[in-house]
Chains A and B, each alone.
Chain A
Amino acid sequence: GDSVTQTEGQVTVSESKSLIINCTYSATSIGYPNLFWYVRYPGEGLQLLLKVITAGQKGSSRGFEATYNKEATSFHLQKASVQESDSAVYYCALSGMSNYNVLYFGSGTKLTVEP
């Protein structure tokens, strides 16, 4: 089936340090999925952070980057220098090539940035 795996449930990083949140996917029925990172900041709703719909391309937003690696079936989220305001829950997700754009989510990674 189609699924997304985030191996880290919680990550703690010191401010100004680098971050990587791992995401791998399986898209056996979809083939060429669209890939997303969503974020939920404390007290706020789920919102799109970035997306990439073409293999090999990189998406970026708010200092975060993720590259669509079709060979490794990965879409890791990276940031060179995190800030306290980045503390949130991050979800990797994929959708297929249908008009319905149904999303399949990973289990989420809670990021805590310590001062």
Chain B
Amino acid sequence: EAAVTQSPRNKVAVTGGKVTLSCNQTNNHNNMYWYRQDTGHGLRLIHYSYGAGSTEKGDIPDGYKASRPSQENFSLILELATPSQTSVYFCASGHTGTGGYEQYFGPGTRLTVL
């Protein structure tokens, strides 16, 4: 009954190839997020969305696109993958509002770009 799921869990891609990471949530949250985590860094925000059809740039959006076709689904797209995008990617969902709402995270996708 995991509320936030990601696919694939592991991916090996070639430089210049297109990669799509998918995220699904059953929490009925308006907000969804994509982060990447690298050694020595915490999670860094790539893109986020506040509802179906919306995407917003986070702190490190270069080289990434996002798509939110529905409340439940949020994808991260690497049109031309590069080795520097080798990382672990986390999707999360969360409530809208100013009450200090927490985020609920998926298990992560390990991406290796060769």
Footprint of B on A, CB under 8 Å?
4, 6, 9, 34, 36, 45-48, 51, 53, 91, 93, 95, 97-108
Contact = CB atoms under 8 A, between A and B. Distances in A.
A107 B56 CA distance: 23
B61 interface: no
Contacts of A51: 100, 102
Contacts of B31: 99-101
Contacts of B48: 100, 102
A99 B96 contact: yes
Contacts of A48: 102-103
A75 B86 CA distance: 31
B45 to A, nearest CB: 6
B100 A34 contact: yes
In the A-B complex, the 9 residue pairs with the closest CB atoms: A105-B42, A34-B100, A53-B100, A46-B105, A48-B102, A105-B43, A107-B42, A99-B96, A45-B107
Pick the most buried of B94, B103, B105: most chain A CB atoms within 10 A of its CB. B103
Interface string B90-113: 100011111111110111100000
Given A45-B106, A47-B105, A98 B98 contact: yes
B33 interface: yes
A99 B98 contact: yes
